[in-house]
Amino acid sequence: MRGDLFDPHCPTRQLLDRIGTKWTSMAVKTLADAAPDEVRFAELRRRMPGVSQKMLSVTLRGLTRDGLVSRRVEPTVPPRVFYRLTGLGLSLEAALAGLRTWAEEHMAEIDRANEAADQETDEG
């Protein structure tokens, strides 16, 4: 039996609530590109233009809590923190890659539809 997207307990809805941000998708992609290697927090931030330190921290905390990312801390001063995708995170990257492909194939159509709608609004 398939889930009901309108039910708050639906697995699809719960997943979209967790991973439906651009920062989550970008973090997963960045870590997937580095796999199987780890990436330090500062390097992740450099590879994700526009993300704030706080937003990256919140994103990584959520991904770690969900078991998609592993975190390793070296007890240095200051501490060195490393991240990598877990097996579960790598499987999510495969699904997100399909979404990126769809976007690359269809965003021009969506942009044209938006332009047409804006033009209708301006003329109406």
Q: Tell me what pLDDT residue 89 has.
A: 96
Counting beta carbons within 10 angstroms of the beta carbon of residue 4, is it exposed (0 to 12), middle (13 to 18) or buried (19 or more)? exposed
Least confident of 5-19, 33-47, 50-64, 80-94: 5-19
- What's the CA angle centered on 102, arms 99 and 34, to 5 degrees? 45
Q: What is the pTM of this model?
A: 0.84
Instruction: Name the pLDDT band for 50 (thresholds 50, 70, 90).
Output: very high
Instruction: Name the pLDDT band for 24 (thresholds 50, 70, 90).
Output: very high
List, in order of start, the domains of the chain with CATH numbers: 11-123 (1.10.10.10)
Per residue in 90-113, pLDDT tens? 999 999 999 899 999 999 999 999
Comparing CA positions, the residue from 78, 79, 71 lying closest to residue 31 is: 71
